[in-house]
Amino acid sequence: MEITEIRITLRDDEKLRGFASITLDNCFVIRGLKIISGANGIFVAMPSRKRKDGTYQDIAHPINMQARQWMESQVIGAFKQEQTRVENGEIPPPQRGAHVDDEGPAMEEEY
């Protein structure tokens, strides 16, 4: 399996640093990955939905630590490249309070 495309949408927020979409093998897309600044650094949160009890459940995620680390390193690498593009003036910086677009969180469905 290969990540053939990563799209990053930066956010100007203290904790939520951006969203990512990844394409696997040019045939399967996962949207709504969140790039979060946590106590131990940057990490990637998988797309999730809110359950009736108020907790969240991942709707797509790696099933082992090796796959998670591989995916997270690819997404964080792309995130850092996008940050560098902003710093170099290649793209405009994210605006504070920008609305979530199609790269935003997954739909929250009630079951």
pLDDT score, position 95: 78
Residue 97 pLDDT level (bands cut at 50, 70, 90) = low
Task: Looking at the structure, give the CATH architecture of the domain made up of residues 3-87.
Answer: 2-Layer Sandwich (3.30)
> Which is more confidently placed, 82 or 98?
82
Please give the torsion angle defined by the CA atoms of residues 84, 20, 102 and 10, in that order, rounded to the nearest 10 degrees. Answer: -30
Q: Residue 18: which H helix or E strand, with range?
A: strand 16-24
> Which is more confidently placed, 109 or 74?
74
**Domain range list for the chain:** 3-87
pLDDT per position as a tens digit, 46-96 = 999 999 999 999 999 999 999 999 999 999 999 999 999 999 999 999 977
Q: Give yes or no for residue 17 having a pLDDT over 50.
A: yes
